[in-house]
């Protein structure tokens, strides 16, 4: 279970909704929050007219409330909201900013993404608790020790993949992990692993997907003579590099750039798009539908 913070300053509740679109949805949600005495800080919505779907994110203040008072306020709202949500066929999530999801970071030999996430976490930019770093190499062990985070070395070979994943899943269950971040973890997860964490495994791919999937996209981009390279953060599904895209960014290159130049420029992109995706997930800004995402401001 996520831990609860004792500091009540700037505490908020976040409600995420998706449902069939119809008139009056915003008014119904806002009206109920008004009845509950909630002070709405942010509200945003999106309609997919082609599919007839409605998406909404509402954030309201819990400032000044004790942990118990804040929990009671959320429980009271939940009791009032649940019947309306059922009537309107809403899928919904409600969480408090006091809840700090427990996160596991996976990586292999490239450390730029995981170093960036650890720095942002220590600077207070990521509202989570990083409880373990898992790797099939020992390159990150010193970095984990520096940050005081548990390190688990789990070697993976084609013949031991099932055993390694069973060990990893047991570890994640033991630690109550809610989000897995693949910070340049150069192993393909099996469908069995992914099924344990639906829409809760975030990967960074060193390409502007769907172009140049696979393990050597910078080499493929250089061979193709592209003028832009990119990086993509996405949720992991059982199909390689095909999960719902969360964030992408690009950098311009030229004929003068060699593969090593593309790799260097790409690393900056990878750090940025992964950290944004993780932060947005932790702040409850992402809704998945089909193979797409809505990312609220």
Which residues are part of the catalytic machinery?
A: 241
CA within 13 Å, CB half, 110? 18
What would the two tokens of residue 257 be?
């750039």
Bridge-partner residues for 105, per DSSP?
A: 133, 181
Q: Which residues neighbour 51 within 8 Å (Cβ) at sequence distance 6 or greater? A: 289, 290
Distance between alpha carbon 285 and the CA centroid of its chain, in Å?
Answer: 9
The H or E element spanning position 233 is strand 228-235
Q: How far is CA 74 from CA 15, 126, 138, in A?
A: 10, 23, 43
Q: Which of 140, 112, 113, 117 is nearest to 130 (CA)?
A: 117
Q: Is the peptide bond before 210 cis (omega within 30 degrees of 0)?
A: yes
Alpha-helix residue ranges (DSSP H) falling in 137-216? 141-146, 161-175, 191-195
Q: Which of 133, 69, 130, 114 is nearest to 96 (CA)?
A: 69
């Amino acid at each position: 279970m996520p831990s609860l913070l004792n500091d009540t300053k700037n505490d908020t509740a976040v409600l995420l909704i998706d449902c069939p679109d119809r008139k009056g949805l915003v008014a119904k949600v806002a009206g109920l929050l008004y009845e509950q005495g909630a002070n709405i800080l942010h509200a945003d919505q999106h309609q997919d007219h082609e599919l007839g779907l409605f998406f909404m994110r509402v954030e309201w203040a819990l400032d000044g409330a004790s942990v118990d008072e804040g929990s009671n306020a959320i429980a009271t709202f939940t009791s009032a909201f649940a019947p309306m949500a059922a009537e309107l066929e809403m899928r919904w999530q409600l969480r408090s900013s006091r809840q700090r999801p427990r996160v596991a970071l996976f990586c292999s030999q490239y450390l730029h993404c995981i170093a960036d996430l650890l720095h942002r976490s220590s600077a207070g930019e990521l509202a989570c608790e990083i409880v373990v770093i898992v790797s099939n190499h020992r390159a990150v062990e010193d970095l984990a020790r520096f940050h005081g985070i548990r390190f688990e070395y789990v070697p993976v070979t084609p013949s031991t993949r099932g055993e390694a994943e069973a060990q990893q899943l047991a570890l994640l269950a033991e630690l109550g992990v809610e989000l897995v971040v693949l910070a340049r973890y150069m192993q393909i997860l099996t469908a069995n692993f992914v099924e344990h964490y639906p829409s809760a495994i975030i990967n960074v791919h060193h390409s502007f997907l769907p172009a140049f999937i696979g393990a050597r996209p910078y080499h493929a981009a250089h061979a193709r003579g592209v003028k832009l390279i990119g990086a993509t953060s996405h949720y992991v599904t059982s199909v390689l590099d095909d999960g719902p895209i969360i964030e992408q960014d690009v950098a311009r290159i030229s004929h003068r750039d060699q593969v090593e130049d593309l790799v260097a420029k790409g690393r900056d992109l990878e750090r940025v798009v992964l950290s944004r995706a993780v932060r947005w997930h932790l702040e409850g800004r992402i809704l998945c539908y089909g193979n797409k995402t809505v990312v609220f401001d």
